[in-house]
């Protein structure tokens, strides 16, 4: 606590407006030996203290100065989560530049759009794979781009592009520049203003091309003040230096930025970079984070992983596991009914379950030490949350979007309501449009606008300056907000019924066999669905049944598999009213992919693209 107070004094003491960079510097001054980052390399988690990392940030920032980055210049980062991402990000903010994060999965065409749209002058490409995407675009189209910094030298030998700079030489350049121009960086940082843009966050764009939401220093500070330092949001008190966070979601997404970078520079926990999205599970087991934020897709995967693995256990273990799960369900229900808190009964039940199943299960999931977990960025089925709450992982759903720096609602400790996204943060403006129930917000976290798109900016704002989120919500008990769906996603059948598809889709997705589901029915007589199966689990299921298959497509065409999914659909239908029942469905014959345009970079289904690509399938159902 004292560190935070000192830090605030330091940053208020004439050092300009606090930015994420100045906060990192203050940590380096006040707690230089505290571990700030861990990155796994050759099997070992290398530790970087605040002092180490600030030195790197300082060098990188001086390197940017040496490359002539002026206030307001854009620096783009195209990389998986790694230490260099954050160093680059903070260095850019330190020189009053604007960080633009790209998704590692962005294909060349999108990289071209993004690079030309934001007009970045410095680009950080992690390795050859990402560099090649820039190379494919051609120089003439990227007139603003001056330098490309790369971190992995493998495969880069023989590249004679004069824009290329190796990371280490870039830092060296910064070191030399610092000696030649001492104090320049400090002066630049001290000149930081509230209205300085600090990042462009490109929204995933389920409709149309991505738009870059402009966030300023004051947006970020507001977000840190409201979300990171919100009293009663995190179980067991505010995040602090003893906390561990695993960074594995794309850092260009605002949610990961808030729950790793901004939380870290705000409160000082340690960030641990997962090696890759495929090793998240092992990395979680090693780190056992205390704070864990995940998108519904990850929660669903963890849930499916647990059920599938338990099914493969020996009979005795299976028996005890089932017992544990039924205990978990019971505990989950009790806790949910009690605002997320234990009652005496659930505590007693939990003690039994802890010994039998919960402790080792949480250890395996990497959530043994987890004191607060969050779910956001998309809707999640309540069953999944209840499962995790039951086994003792305190998951809280929250809601927000890029355009309001994710400051909207959260479930507070002790006042959780399952199925809602919680209550608005204290002192923010949040209202429902009386006409269509759209959620609107107004506070200091609301963005400046979309980069270079004034018309679209105007479209998202009401006349009296409220941000239109595009989500339809309703009040629950007058305090909590329940999200119905995206306005654009709501289906009106030919019978004139309004149906929210995401609830049905999420219910389908609670089955470990269903990876993605898209409910269709706009202007039709009844609802139908396109369903994408999870190759791992369905493949495993088929193998166990002695069902031979060759490819993904072959698997989706097996009558047995269709029957299996029919079972899942029937289960879901039972939970909903008759008009909301799915009469027919088709399995998608390929795995959905960002590169093929079916998914956004955040792995959300692009409805319009899907309707186009799988039009025949859809038509065959009507």
**Residue ranges in contact with another protein by CB under 8 A:** 38, 43-47, 285-288, 309-310, 312-314, 317, 320-321, 324, 356-357, 360-361, 364, 369
Task: Choose between 298 and 320: whose C-beta lies nearer to another protein.
Answer: 320
Cα–Cα distance for residue pair 122/73, rounded to 1 Å: 9
Quote the least distance from Cβ 46 to another protein, whole Å. Answer: 7
Quote the least distance from Cβ 313 to another protein, whole Å. Answer: 4
Quote the least distance from Cβ 353 to another protein, whole Å. Answer: 11
Task: Choose between 293 and 358: whose C-beta lies nearer to another protein.
Answer: 358
Task: Choose between 12 and 312: whose C-beta lies nearer to another protein.
Answer: 312
Task: Choose between 309 and 488: whose C-beta lies nearer to another protein.
Answer: 309
Quote the least distance from Cβ 217 to another protein, whole Å. Answer: 34
Residue 145, token pair as written in the block:
């781009």
Residues 6+ apart with CB under 8 A from 355: none
Quote the least distance from Cβ 279 to another protein, whole Å. Answer: 13
Tokens 């269903």 label which residue? 514
Q: 3-state class of 585 per DSSP?
A: strand
Quote the least distance from Cβ 268 to another protein, whole Å. Answer: 18
Q: What is the 3-state secondary structure (H, E, C) of 49-96?
A: EHHHHHHHHHHHHHHHHHCCCCCCCEEEEECCCCHHHHHHHHHHHHCC
Please, how many CA atoms are within 13 Å of residue 235, restricted to the half-sphere of its CB?
22
Q: How many CB atoms lie within 10 A of CB 617?
A: 18
Task: Choose between 166 and 305: whose C-beta lies nearer to another protein.
Answer: 305
**What does each C-alpha distance from 615 to 48, 53, 608, 611 come to in angstroms?**
52, 51, 10, 5
Quote the least distance from Cβ 41 to another protein, whole Å. Answer: 11
Quote the least distance from Cβ 314 to another protein, whole Å. Answer: 5
CB 269 within 8 A of CB 244: yes
Please, how many CA atoms are within 13 Å of residue 539, restricted to the half-sphere of its CB?
10
Write the DSSP assignment of 145-207 as a string of letters.
--EEEES--TT-TT---TTEEEHHHHHHHHHHHHHHSTTHHHHHHHT--TT-EEEEEE---SS
Task: Choose between 173 and 361: whose C-beta lies nearer to another protein.
Answer: 361
Task: Choose between 364 and 453: whose C-beta lies nearer to another protein.
Answer: 364
Task: Choose between 283 and 405: whose C-beta lies nearer to another protein.
Answer: 283
Q: 3-state class of 270 per DSSP?
A: strand
């Amino acid at each position: 606590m004292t560190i935070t107070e000192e830090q605030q004094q330091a940053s208020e003491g004439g050092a300009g407006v606090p930015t994420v960079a100045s906060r990192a510097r203050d940590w380096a001054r006040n707690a230089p030996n505290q571990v700030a980052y861990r990155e796994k390399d050759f099997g070992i988690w290398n530790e970087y203290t605040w002092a180490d990392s600030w030195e790197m940030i300082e060098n990188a920032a001086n390197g940017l100065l040496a490359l002539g980055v002026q206030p307001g210049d854009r620096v783009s980062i195209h990389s998986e989560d790694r230490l260099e991402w954050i160093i680059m990000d903070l260095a850019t903010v330190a020189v009053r530049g604007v960080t633009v994060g790209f998704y590692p999965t962005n294909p060349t065409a999108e990289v071209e759009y993004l690079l030309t749209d934001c007009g970045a002058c410095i680009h950080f490409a992690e390795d050859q794979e990402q560099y090649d995407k820039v190379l494919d675009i051609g120089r003439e189209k990227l007139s603003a781009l001056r330098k490309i910094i790369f971190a992995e030298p493998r495969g880069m030998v023989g590249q004679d592009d004069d824009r290329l700079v190796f990371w280490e030489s870039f830092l060296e350049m910064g070191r030399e520049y610092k000696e030649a121009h001492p104090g320049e960086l400090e002066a630049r940082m001290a000149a930081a203003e509230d209205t300085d843009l600090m990042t462009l966050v490109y929204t995933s764009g389920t409709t149309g091309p991505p738009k870059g939401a402009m966030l300023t220093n004051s947006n970020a500070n507001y977000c840190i003040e409201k979300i990171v330092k919100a009293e009663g949001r995190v179980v067991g008190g505010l995040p602090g230096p003893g906390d561990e966070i695993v960074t594995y979601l794309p850092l260009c997404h605002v949610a990961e930025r808030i729950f790793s970078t901004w939380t870290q520079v705000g409160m000082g926990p340690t960030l641990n970079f997962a090696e890759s999205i495929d090793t998240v599970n092992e990395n979680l087991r090693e780190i056992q984070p205390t704070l864990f934020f995940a998108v519904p897709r990850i929660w669903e995967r963890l849930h499916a992983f647990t059920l599938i693995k338990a099914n493969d256990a020996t009979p005795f273990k299976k028996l005890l596991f089932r017992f544990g799960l039924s205990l978990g369900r019971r505990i989950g229900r009790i806790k949910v009914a009690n605002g997320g808190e234990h009652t005496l009964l659930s505590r007693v039940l939990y003690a039994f379950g802890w010994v039998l199943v919960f402790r080792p299960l949480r250890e395996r999931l990497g959530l043994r030490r987890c004191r607060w977990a969050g779910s956001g960025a998309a809707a999640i089925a309540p069953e999944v949350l209840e499962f995790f709450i039951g086994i003792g992982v305190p998951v809280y759903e929250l809601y927000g979007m890029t355009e309001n720096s994710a400051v909207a609602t959260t479930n507070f400790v002790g006042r959780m309501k399952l199925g809602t996204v919680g209550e608005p943060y204290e002192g923010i403006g949040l209202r429902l449009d009386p006409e269509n129930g759209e959620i609107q917000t107004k506070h200091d976290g609301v963005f400046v606008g979309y980069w270079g798109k004034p018309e679209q900016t105007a479209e998202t704002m009401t006349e009296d300056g409220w941000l239109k989120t595009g989500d339809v919500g309703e009040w629950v008990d007058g305090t909590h907000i329940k999200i119905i769906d995206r306005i654009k996603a709501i289906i009106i059948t030919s019978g004139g019924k309004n149906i929210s598809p995401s609830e049905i889709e999420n219910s389908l997705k609670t089955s470990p066999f269903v990876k993605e589901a898209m409910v269709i029915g706009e202007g039709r007589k009844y609802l139908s669905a396109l369903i994408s199966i999870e190759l791992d689990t369905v493949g495993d299921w088929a193998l166990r049944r002695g069902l031979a298959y060759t490819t993904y497509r072959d698997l989706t065409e097996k009558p047995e598999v269709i029957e299996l999914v029919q079972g899942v659909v029937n289960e879901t239908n039972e939970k909903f009213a008759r008009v909301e029942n799915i009469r027919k469905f088709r399995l998608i014959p390929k795995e959905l992919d960002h590169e093929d345009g079916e998914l956004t970079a955040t792995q959300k289904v692009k409805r319009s693209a899907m309707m186009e690509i799988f039009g025949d399938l859809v038509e065959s159902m009507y």
